[in-house]
Structure 1
């Protein structure tokens, strides 16, 4: 089982384009996150007044968070479409198309009229572009992470996918820096400028991604006739258990983020614990640290495996829910910053760092994009509406409600990690090291990717049906 799994991971030493692909995929992740997360920041700080006026601050925030959730609800559909096309046509076309779609939708948000200008049409338009954002972001992750994963060396899958995952805190940092700068503009420009400015990032991203080569694993599947007619159906029928486990793993990370970061922004603002500038500053500090934390956690999984990181982090996060709110409730800025840094750089980044390599390794190469995308994006529906649910819990139970919800999400992740197999344990690491050494010394080995011995003792390409 371990050897067969390794054979689906691409060339043992990776490709010569591995670093360029990882950086190119990461740049796209930066842009997509800037666009998508920027909406969450705007929803917490501005959209209640701009699109849902005439209500209490809580009601306006609830409406804005509901709109935020709509985009997350659309992500599974985007994941299905992107995964299907990624397994049928290739990873690269999905990367380019999702980036264009996200760029158009985000730029359009900056042009939307407010409720004061056109009435109820304004929130309707906001929902429409939010759905488009969700579709684009749903298709993005599978293509980006698989491109990096399938180009990377066997023993550095975590390192290279970690570069992609680190693009998300970079996007978060850029989004909040722009919002931090635009807060002084006043009026609607405070939230319009960040969305309008995203078009520059989109253009840069398209230039970089156009030069990224296709995945060697997909090319091999295609050349050997292994492309299946319905990869989504294959993923569901053959790997539905791993899809469910992936959903549980992902909920701890993304829904936990929705409580500890997205909702926390609103909580700090509405409770008068921190001003907008202070809140955004704390987020920028956490995001800056998170860039290196995500990459570091991802590289750690190459040395100790994927599952240990998840088990330790989810256990810690389950205990951190109550203290997290107790610390921010002090109103002390340094404690607020420290809390957000822990919630993000430890509780979220470590899980995201492990997912980059773990999720692709759970699925067969012929439907890997579909399976990984389904697991990754279905959980987004939970996280998307979490700020809405968390606000309701706060109204009913005070801060204890959100704190316990964060703990519950962490326990779900812990349970899923216990049930999910380790894909990079001691056996896999040993086989990879042996295969790598044999490749360097030009010694033939049946464990090398695409190699089987022929009758004359020479090593020839392995047939796809034997590979998968």
Structure 2
């Protein structure tokens, strides 16, 4: 029996067991997503708490908040462009170079925000510089996500891809928690350091993230696709032509998760603070507690999808979002610290985490390897660009309908998510799981030598021994 018949191919072995560095890759991807989310969310928190006064002081309070949220949204508008560029380059040249470049770009932009002059110091130049840097942040963040989760997914064993792909997603709430911890610690500063310190502190995380990511190996699936000549000349154009329906499905699925998060963590933070400034610390503490909880919930959600499928868990998350819209604001209106913290625990620690833990593997499985990063990134980041304006729209709705407007908005985006679930097929149902089990058994059987091969090997060994 030849060697090729006595063991599974390298590709089959990787599919069965994952690459040797699968856990290191997922953790490395998570380190980067942690840094990226720290940087991006720090801006959202600063917009809710400080930027209305610091960069738009001549406006009335409502207009100042609106303008601060508009600059927040500008970064989101750039994310689909970043996703398109990063996805295209990742599918054509590899996932790793995009990850390192995006993280470095994001880090430089964030530190620059920390040293920006205020409106009082530089006049109109201050908000202009803020918007320009925010645009760079959006490009970098858009380019980063697809490569990170696809690297983790493609290094993972085929029957545990939900788990491994969810690990980079867990970097999202960890970055969110760290950003808000820093804001919580700096909230008592009397000067501009209250918002500058969190941006400057990100430099430490950037160095750590870069060191980890530089050591990662390229995706084995991408390497195999490249070696077989199956990469396409223009991944972005190819996926837009062949898989535009799946991109639209991802947008619908992603809108509920992203909008729900920013309505809670950004708009609701501003809403609670406006009602009573003393509750700012309580709300920030709630976000931190919920985000830390979400790290574990995200990973557990990914692991659960490997057992029950991607679609069922996402359906549950969307239904919870629909049900929680009005109770969330009723709880906030009480001003009760326990209920305020509980809002964030439910919205971020449970609903948001269940959705993000499911997304990576489900979105990846909707596309072929040679266009996977482009398709998933474009859909994911386009939805994010819509979500970036959710706090802005919530402010407008609140002006006309009080808290009922934002609450109804939260319910509507949950319904959009349900439409996405209804129109997107299951990619890891009983049939796919059974096929993976059968494939693993076949690969294992191929690695076990038959009786004839065993006898020939023993005889050959004895002959060698006699000759020696």
Say yes or no: TM over 0.5.
yes
Matched, 1:286 2:294: no
Report the Cα distance in structure 1 between the residues aligned to 2:108 and 2:242, rounded to whole angstroms: 36
Counterpart in the other structure of 2:452: none
Give a deviation string over 1:222-263, Cα, whole Å, max 9, x none.
Answer: 111111111001111110000000000000100111112211
Q: Does 1:406 align with 2:380?
A: no
Q: Is the 8 A contact 2:282 2:340 kept in 1?
A: no
TM-score computed with the length of structure 2 as normaliser: 0.92
Partner of 1:462: none
What is residue 344 of structure 2 aligned with on the other side?
340
**What is the CA–CA distance in structure 2 between the aligned matches of 1:94 and 1:335, rounded to whole Å?**
42
Higher fraction of helix: 2
| TM-aligned CA deviation for residue 380 of structure 1 | 1.1
RMSD of the TM alignment (CA)? 1.4
Alignment map for 1:205-224 (pairs within 5 Å): 205-224=209-228
Match of 1:230 among 231, 234, 239: 234
Measure, in 2, the Cα distance between the counterparts of 1:372 and 1:238: 13
Take 1:324 and 1:279, find their aligned partners in 2: how far apart are those partners?
A: 13
User: What is the rounded CA distance, in whole Å, between the counterparts of 2:431 and 2:298 in structure 1?
Assistant: 25
8 Å Cα contact 2:12/2:443 also seen in 1? no
Aligned residue pair count: 438
- In 1, Cα distance between the equivalents of 2:375 and 2:197? 37
Q: Deviations over 1:173-202 (max 9, x none)?
A: 100011111112221100101101111111
Match of 2:370 in 1: 366
Aligned with 1:241 (options 232, 240, 245): 245
Cα pair 2:257 2:355 within 8 Å, conserved: yes
* 1:72 maps onto 2:115 in alignment: no
CA contact (8 A) 1:273 1:328 kept: no
| Mapped pair 1:260 → 2:264 | yes
- Which range is displaced more, 375-384 or 269-278? 269-278
Q: Which residue of 2 aligns with 1:25?
A: 29
- Structure 1 CA distance for aligned equivalents of residues 138 and 401 of structure 2: 31
Shift of 1:54: 2.1
Per the TM alignment, residue 320 of structure 1 is displaced from its structure 2 partner at its CA by: 1.1
Pair 1:116 & 2:123 matched? no
Per-residue CA deviations over 1:28-62 (Å, capped at 9, x if unaligned) read: 00000000011000000010111010222211111
Q: Distance in 2 between matches of 1:9 and 1:89?
A: 24
Instruction: Using the TM superposition, give the Cα deviation of residue 8 of structure 1 relative to its aligned residue in structure 2, in angstroms.
Output: 11
Confirm or deny: 8 A CA contact 1:166 1:290 kept in the other structure: yes
Work out whether residues 273 and 329 of structure 1, in 8 Å CA contact, stay in contact via their aligned partners in 2.
no
2:389 paired with 1:385: yes
The residue that corresponds to 1:356 in the other structure is: 360
Q: 5+ residue gaps in structure 2?
A: 1-10, 449-468
Equivalent position of 2:460 in the other structure:
none
Structure 1: runs of 5 or more not aligned: 1-6, 445-468
CA distance in 2, matches of 1:330, 1:267: 13
Give the TM-score of the pair, scaled to structure 1: 0.92
Question: Structure 1 residues 10, 373: closer, same or farther in 2, change over 3 A?
Answer: farther
- Partner SS, residue 230 of structure 2: coil
Q: 2:435 aligns with which of 431, 444, 447?
A: 431
Provide, for residues 414-464 of structure 1, a one-character-per-residue CA deviation record: whole Å limited to 9, x for no partner: 1111110100000111111122223233369xxxxxxxxxxxxxxxxxxxx
Residue 442 in 1 paired to residue 468 in 2?
A: no
Q: Which residue of 2 aligns with 1:61?
A: 65
* Higher radius of gyration, 1 or 2: 2
- 1: CA distance, partners of 2:264 / 2:200: 27
Are the equivalent residues in 2 in contact too, given 1:10–1:150 (CA < 8 A)?
no
